[in-house]
Structure 1
Amino acid sequence: MADAALRLTTLAEELLGAPLPVRIRAWDGSESGPPGAPTLVIRHRRALRRLLWRPGELGLARAWVAGEIDIDGDLYTALGLLAGLIWERDDDRGAVHPVFDPRLRAAALGLLKAGGVLPPPPPPAEEVRRRLGPLHTKRRDKRAISHHYDVGNDFYELVLGPSMVYSCAYWEDGGSLEDAQRDKLDLICRKLALKEDDRLLDVGCGWGSMAIHAAREYGVQVTGVTLSREQAAYARKRIAEEGLTDRIEIRVQDYRDVRDGPYDAISSIGMAEHVGAVRYREYADQLFALLKPGGRLLNHQIARRPEHDESAYRVDDFIDRYVFPDGELAPLGGTTATIEGAGFEVRDVEVIREHYALTLRHWVANLEADWPQAIRLTTPGRARVWRLYMAACALAFERNRIGVNQILAVKTPEGGASGLPLRARDWR
């Protein structure tokens, strides 16, 4: 009788030291685990080899991207059940390497029908190769941005919808994704107190949505910068179709190379996560220098929870290898302190964590609704990367493992006149 699923369940529970909360369906058709629970489908023995060599998150991610494992049932429920065993463990048991545990190694090799330890399978093609050298040089940042954003504008249209905004929306009950993204862009414009003919710098301008909204609705002159050539080409086409080429310039340019200040306002929406801890003060200093006295900065950024020991923070393996190479998250307090250290006066902080969970669930729904087309537009592996990372991030926002915040800061001139209204939240 086929029994791979039962043997896998036993092996997993011995390794994790806890009952497995999902069912397992193995490559031989056998099943084991709690009835009615979501099912982890292990299609190929190769997935076990990956876990032998890289236990925990990275091994599972490689098997997922390669299509060697899947979920039968609700993806969010399955990830929620597994999170406590893989992503939210308070000890280091998940780091135990079973290759060096003779008992577990023997059990795994028996399932693999191997007499000795097999070599690790090559990672899926979508994985970023190990990078050498210092973090966040201009060249390395450009490659990292290209990995994430230059995967096809048609693919992003499918996921993001007509708004083509790749950051947290701002929701009201019953609104659509497009409504919520429009409201987010308008909220930022109002926080920045934009008015006719102001100069706005949009750092990390994406596909041009913020630039178009600000120019069309508020009459400002916009400079947008991005490191993605595909984004820039798409944004320029949209701008031409809107008849706004006289008001918007899109550049393929690093924010560190912008020299044509001063600007009245700067928007940075979902870009600072790419800056990195070693460059964050440089980022804040550069934006401060580019603003005129009284100029405003709106920094919209994902944040992580602070660590008891900040030196222990490490970037998530799956995100670093498959999604945002070299991306880093900082706690809200550290970000505001750095912005203040550059000379800004922080005037408002708005926490919109739950809004990002809703946004991500809509993006996942868009992807799943047209899955065959998503695969055609990129690769099966890349589509699987996006589905897993967006669903897992939705849960992380819902569980307060990460957050997202809008920080409004002003380059307050000498004398202290910020130029903001006495009731600063009149933008509501």
Structure 2
Amino acid sequence: MFDTQFKRQVENLLEPAGISINGTNAWDIRVHDSRLFQRILAHGNLGFGEAYMDAWWDCDAIDELFFRILHNRINKKIATFGIFASSLAGRIFNLQVPSRAFTVGERHYNTGNDLFSLMLDTGMNYSCAYWGNCNNLEQAQQKKLQLIFDKLRLKPGMKVLDIGCGWGGAALYAAKHYGVNVTGITVSNKQAQFAQQFCNDPSVSIKLCDYRSLNDKYDRIYSIGMFEHVGYKNYRHYFEVIDRCLAKDGLCLIHTIGGNEQSTSTDPWISKYIFPNSMIPAASQITGAYEGIFVLEDWHVFAHDYYLTLKSWHQNVQKNLEKLNQQYSERFFRMWKYYLLSCAGAFRARKLQIWQILLSPQGIKGLYRVPR
């Protein structure tokens, strides 16, 4: 009786988005366990995601399913205690203090270099690619790096800082193609070990440390896909650190996921299984944090490119399942698929954005056309 009532409630929620239970469309939900409906109503996306990991339901097009859910704002109609508790914790506590800085490295970026090397491009770039006039992920990631470094106006011999360098692909590209000296920092020991071998270039130095410990001066500073781990309580200090380390005639570029509304927490499922202590910034939170410190030179938006990037990553994982099966469980693969495709749907729905923000300490002198 209760399962029927819960099912009816979920069906009513999904109906405006054209999503059916056990329907014939690729984005419809095939239910294997009737307890799913109560789990959705009680726990929102946390329950929905965990139920998928537990094989309680399936869907042939999870990205399309999430696009429809988010485009029609169905997620706003399910308010759970878990979401409230997560938001409250983010307001009360600083979840990104230095003592917690390495948690995301241990729990996500240390997942396995074998997985990431098969999922990503050959440069191991784990961030949104730039797909203009590109036919594949390899080209799109190189175009993204070229775009960033052209915006920064890199010149041979410059001293450059990469905050959140990942596996070192961006640092190596900058060193090889622009003749600069790059220091990359990461909070993942597996990333650091990989990057040191991967780069193997005297112009690239990789360090395992938190950004707050930085004190050296650099001509240029950039971060690609790291700002999502800073946390709103630390945004101001983050820009103060950059100001401390950036030359007065320097430039800084932040490449980050962004949100349409201010937030003090992240999605409970993403926080629990993918990016602990992460937080998606709103534009107002970023501008308020650098106000009085930096001059805004450019704000570039290209959200749909992350949809294409995530779909490519998912396709790469699917192509390499046989190579990965011995290292990872079926539940892990379901979790990873849910992560990649639900996020793809969120970018397609423009629930999430991608921003490249170019800043200077005192304003660029003279005419400057920002590359696109």
Same fold (TM over 0.5): yes
1:337-376 matches, within 5 Å, as 337-341=288-292, 343-376=293-326
**Alpha-carbon shift at residue 411 of structure 1 (Å):** 1.7
How much is the aligned-residue C-alpha RMSD, in angstroms?
Answer: 2.8
Paired residue for 1:29?
none
1:237-386 matches, within 5 Å, as 237-240=197-200, 244=201, 246-259=202-215, 261-306=216-261, 314-341=265-292, 343-386=293-336
Does 2:56 correspond to 1:65?
no
Aligned with 1:264: secondary structure?
strand
- Which AA in structure 2 matches 1:383? F
* Partners of 1:15 and 1:394 in 2: CA distance: 23
* Shift in alpha-carbon separation, 1:349–1:134, aligned structure 2, 3 A: closer
* Partners of 1:141 and 1:46 in 2: CA distance: 37
* Shift in alpha-carbon separation, 1:279–1:60, aligned structure 2, 3 A: same
* Shift in alpha-carbon separation, 1:60–1:347, aligned structure 2, 3 A: same
- Say which of 352, 357, 360 aligns to 1:410: 360
**Alpha-carbon shift at residue 19 of structure 1 (Å):** 5.8
Q: TM-score, normalised by structure 1?
A: 0.77
* Partners of 1:292 and 1:79 in 2: CA distance: 44
- Which AA in structure 1 matches 2:339? Y
Paired residue for 2:181?
221
Note if contact 2:96-2:230 (Cα within 8 Å) is conserved in structure 1.
yes
**Alpha-carbon shift at residue 360 of structure 1 (Å):** 1.2
**Alpha-carbon shift at residue 12 of structure 1 (Å):** 1.5
- Which AA in structure 1 matches 2:266? V
* Partners of 2:74 and 2:69 in 1: CA distance: 9
**Alpha-carbon shift at residue 239 of structure 1 (Å):** 1.4
Paired residue for 2:63?
76
Aligned with 1:358: secondary structure?
helix
Does 2:29 correspond to 1:40?
yes
Paired residue for 1:182?
142
**Alpha-carbon shift at residue 378 of structure 1 (Å):** 3.0
Q: How many pairs does the alignment contain? A: 363
Query: Where do 5+ consecutive residues of structure 2 fail to align?
Result: 83-88
Note if contact 1:150-1:228 (Cα within 8 Å) is conserved in structure 2.
yes
Aligned with 2:119: secondary structure?
helix
Aligned with 2:254: secondary structure?
strand
Aligned with 2:155: secondary structure?
coil
* Partners of 2:354 and 2:13 in 1: CA distance: 32
* Shift in alpha-carbon separation, 1:66–1:14, aligned structure 2, 3 A: closer
Paired residue for 1:109?
none
* Shift in alpha-carbon separation, 1:321–1:335, aligned structure 2, 3 A: same
* Shift in alpha-carbon separation, 1:298–1:219, aligned structure 2, 3 A: same
Does 2:104 correspond to 1:144?
yes
* Shift in alpha-carbon separation, 1:340–1:424, aligned structure 2, 3 A: farther
User: Which whole-Å deviations, capped at 9, do the CAs of 1:73-114 have from their partners, x for residues lacking one?
Assistant: 2233333444468x634445x5499xxxxxxxxxxxxxxxxx
13-22 or 346-355, larger mean C-alpha shift: 13-22
1:41-190 matches, within 5 Å, as 41-44=30-33, 47=36, 50=39, 54-71=42-59, 73-83=60-70, 88-92=74-78, 95=80, 134-190=94-150
Note if contact 1:152-1:377 (Cα within 8 Å) is conserved in structure 2.
no
Note if contact 1:361-1:391 (Cα within 8 Å) is conserved in structure 2.
yes
Q: Which has the larger radius of gyration?
A: 1
- Say which of 358, 367, 372 aligns to 1:422: 367
**Alpha-carbon shift at residue 37 of structure 1 (Å):** 5.5
* Shift in alpha-carbon separation, 1:322–1:349, aligned structure 2, 3 A: same
Aligned with 2:43: secondary structure?
coil
* Partners of 2:220 and 2:285 in 1: CA distance: 22
Note if contact 1:169-1:359 (Cα within 8 Å) is conserved in structure 2.
yes
- Say which of 183, 195, 209 aligns to 2:155: 195
* Partners of 1:36 and 1:286 in 2: CA distance: 50
* Partners of 1:17 and 1:172 in 2: CA distance: 39
14-23 or 313-322, larger mean C-alpha shift: 14-23
**Alpha-carbon shift at residue 390 of structure 1 (Å):** 1.6
* Shift in alpha-carbon separation, 1:302–1:217, aligned structure 2, 3 A: same
- Say which of 385, 388, 395 aligns to 2:338: 388
* Partners of 2:258 and 2:268 in 1: CA distance: 17
Q: Stretches of 4+ moved more than 6 A in 1?
A: 130-133
Note if contact 1:142-1:227 (Cα within 8 Å) is conserved in structure 2.
yes
* Shift in alpha-carbon separation, 1:18–1:229, aligned structure 2, 3 A: closer
* Partners of 1:374 and 1:16 in 2: CA distance: 36
Aligned with 1:321: secondary structure?
helix
Identity of aligned residues (%): 31
Note if contact 2:145-2:170 (Cα within 8 Å) is conserved in structure 1.
yes
Instruction: Indicate the structure whose relative CO is greater, using CA pairs within 8 Å and at least 6 residues apart.
Output: 2
* Partners of 2:271 and 2:145 in 1: CA distance: 28
